[in-house]
Amino acid sequence: MAISKKEKVDDIIEILEKLYPEVPIPLDHKDTYTLLIAVLLSAQCTDKKVNEITPLLFAKADNPFDMVKLTPDQIRVIIRPCGLSPRKSKAIFDLSHILIEKYEGEVPNTFEALEELPGVGHKTASVVMAQAFGVPAFPVDTHIHRLAWRWNLSTGKNVTKTESDCKRLFPKEKWNKLHLQIIFFGREYCPAKRHDPHVCPICSKYGRKVLFKK
């Protein structure tokens, strides 16, 4: 008897909940501003590397008022190991100015306002809205994009489609925790390389047939 998509989704949620009943936010931060900067730096960079670099940056400036006292070049030298440093340093400097001029130094709490900030795309805004403000969101990173395709939950055409499909399939009240659970699962059980679908707790049950072809 074929399993329904709802039963499959419910089972995936149960597996993830058993494996990761508690999920810490992967990026070290102390407030909304430092989270925003850390997420911005994480673009095309590992969380581990970001967590190595942000203490150096935040020792000099952990708020927009101190950040604008640095030059973009000073910021760039510190964050260079995170990659894309010319673009990221300018974005950090410019958005800090905007936060001071427009929001009295506070990070705004709407998707629209966040996505208007330099260097802040939809994924970054979604992470901040979910993890700082508790607003339901489903940020899609490479792990979630990969796993949603492997589990036949999305077509894998693009991250926008993956986000839409995940939001449609998973209960809204679980989004904020669930997207972190999937990230942790992807790193531990379902990596991009050297992945064995036969032993993966979810792919072994629901993985696409193409995964098992030799």
User: Which tens digit of pLDDT belongs to each residue from 83-132?
Assistant: 999 999 999 999 999 999 999 999 999 999 999 999 999 999 999 999 99
State the Cα–Cα distance between residues 139 and 126, nearest whole angstrom.
Answer: 5
Q: Considering the chain, what is the average pLDDT of its residues? A: 95
pLDDT higher than 70, residue 1: no
- Cα atoms found within 13 Å of the Cα of residue 138, Cβ hemisphere only: 22
Residues 147 and 127 reside in one and the same domain: no
Residues 205, 115 share a domain = no
167 and 100, same domain (yes or no) = no
Q: Examine the domain organization and report whether 167 and 182 are in the same domain.
A: yes
Residue type, 178: L
| Calpha distance 76→174 (Å, rounded) | 37
pLDDT of residue 212: 83
| Domain end point (choices 96, 131, 166) | 131
Q: Which residue has the tokens 């679908």?
A: 197
Residue 31 is among the residues annotated as catalytic for this protein: no
Q: How far apart are CA 212 and CA 210, in angstroms?
A: 5
Q: Are residues 36 and 80 both part of a single domain?
A: yes
Reported as a pLDDT band with limits 50, 70 and 90, residue 157 is: confident
Residue 170 backbone phi and psi in degrees, to 5: -100, 145
Annotated catalytic, 196? no
Catalytic residue among 94, 123, 205, 213: 123
Same domain for 62 and 95? yes
- Model confidence at 2, in pLDDT bands (50, 70, 90)? confident
Among residues 28, 141, 196, 214, the one annotated as catalytic is: 141
Of the listed ranges 35-39, 47-51, 148-152, 207-211, the one predicted with least confidence: 207-211
Residues 106 and 37 in one domain: yes
Domain that includes residue 14, residue range? 5-23+138-212
Statement: residue 214 has pLDDT above 60: no
CATH for 110: 1.10.340.30
Residue 46: pLDDT band by 50, 70, 90 thresholds?
very high
Which of 103, 131, 159 delimits the end of a domain?
131
Residue 77 confidence (pLDDT)? 98
Residue 136, SS3 per DSSP: coil
CATH at residue 204: 1.10.1670.10
Q: Would you say the C-alpha torsion 78, 84, 54, 193 has a positive or negative sign?
A: negative
Distance (Å) of CA 160 to CA 40, 121, 166, 173, 189: 19, 12, 10, 20, 24
Domain end: 131, 164, 199, which one?
A: 131
Please count the structural domains in the chain.
2
CA pair distance 178, 23, nearest whole angstrom: 9
pTM exceeds 0.85 for this model: yes
Residues 44 and 122 in one domain: yes
pLDDT at residue 213 above 80? no
Same domain, 166 and 108: no
